[in-house]
Structure 1
């Protein structure tokens, strides 16, 4: 009886974890360039000072859904989208490089291009443009800026956006929402990935989230029913144990 309760308890705990992951995916259904997290169950034996006993089931998020999200036309010059398996590079606070599919580029008061507050990287480091200039982006990532009040003939190239080709198995999602290279990928390619000159950008377009809200809602209902069934198993096992104790006390 104890094994039944333990098994049901372990399953109920991991069902709650899966529900939280599905809820997070659903909450990001409108997040630009978001990649849905995928869950998997992993058996982990309990090892102590004695012989290993039982096995605990743990929910993990080993990977993400790499399918493309829908492209949405915005008409904004600083909005860009990329082809599949190509990523934009940003610089994190510790100086390391991270990757994102979010192409909503902003320019701060210092003229630095950034995505979600993190500097956007180009072929020679962080990208900056003259303040109050009109910026356009070509398909190869070249940035052109026209200063305020300048003639159209004075437009100049001020940098080139770095575009990185990465396979889904080479990156992992960080706590900040950006993706970083796995340890194996860093050992094979170094700490940063090289620019991919073959990658093309689409200006005035943003890639939406690849989360299907209908599928996510169905998964939430399924998780709730699974949890209810597992709790019922625990209650039934407890009632059977009480009745068995009553029979033993009579004998």
Structure 2
């Protein structure tokens, strides 16, 4: 009977934590470039001698969805989106990280940033000199035209674009995408960039609501199992007590 309590207790905890994951996804359904978190449950044996028949569920919420969000045209020169698989590299608080957000802005020094973090090129953070026109090519090449609108476009740098499968990536404490092994990802020249576009969140509000409702029903079932285990324990105690 106590083995059932372990299962019900850990199952209820997993359901509550799973709801938190989906609530966070819903809260970011309008965040540009956001990648939904995935919650996965695995079974594990309760630690300790004599507990081999007691099993618990463990929640793993460190995987991300690789599904592409909707692209929308903005017409802004510094707005970029990735078509297909791939990520922009940024200089995050703890080192190199990756994002699908592409609303690039310039800081006071002319450095290209995304959400306040420098976006990386082949030679590190990209800083633009004074220009009259800027273009970002399909391969991530950043070109400018000198002030006055005369002369040809000059290549300044090239965005560092990387590619990885969803199973190879996770999120750090800052919510940025990083490689699961902690190492920087190599540049991938097959990644395509669309200038003048932004990618929306890949969160499906309907799917998140359905998952939340399913977890709520799961929690209710676990509470019924917990009550059943308690009733069986009390019935056993009455039989022993005679």
Whole-angstrom CA distance in 2 between matches of 1:120 and 1:65: 22
Q: What is the TM-score normalised by the length of structure 2?
A: 0.89
Relative to structure 1, the CA distance from residue 51 to residue 5 in structure 2 (aligned partners, 3 Å threshold; closer, same or farther) is closer
Corresponding residue number in structure 2 for 1:237: 229
CA distance in 2, matches of 1:232, 1:55: 18
Root-mean-square deviation (CA), in Å?
A: 2.2
2:185 and 2:222 mapped to 1: Cα distance?
A: 46
Alignment of 1:149-188 (within 5 A): 150-153=148-151, 155-183=153-181
Residue of structure 2 aligned with 1:205, choices 183, 190, 197:
197
Change (3 A) 1:247 1:197: closer
Structure-to-structure mapping, 1:110-129, within 5 angstroms: 110-129=109-128
Q: Who is 1:15 aligned against?
A: 15
TM-score normalised over the length of structure 1 = 0.86
The answer (yes or no) to whether the contact 2:7–2:55 under 8 Å persists in 1 is no
Gaps of 5+ in 1: none
1:74 aligns with 2:74: yes
Q: Deviations over 1:169-195 (max 9, x none)?
A: 322222212211222xx6xxxx43333
- Residue 102 (structure 1) shift: 1.1
* Uncovered stretches (5+) of structure 2, i.e. residues with no partner: none
- 1:116-156 per-residue CA deviation (whole Å, 9 max, x = no partner) reads 111100111110112575432122222223455x2343653
Q: Deviation per CA, 1:52-91, whole angstroms, max 9, x where unpaired? A: 5322210112522211111111121111111222111111
The residue that corresponds to 2:137 in the other structure is 138
Q: 2:41 touches 2:57 (CA, 8 Å); kept in 1?
A: yes
> Could you tell me whether the CA contact under 8 Å between 2:6 and 2:56 is conserved in 1?
no
Q: Secondary structure at the match of 1:88?
A: strand
Corresponding residue SS for 1:114:
strand
Aligned counterpart for 1:216 among listed residues 192, 208, 211: 208
* Contact 1:89–1:98 under 8 Å retained in 2: yes
Task: Report how many aligned residue pairs link the two structures.
Answer: 241
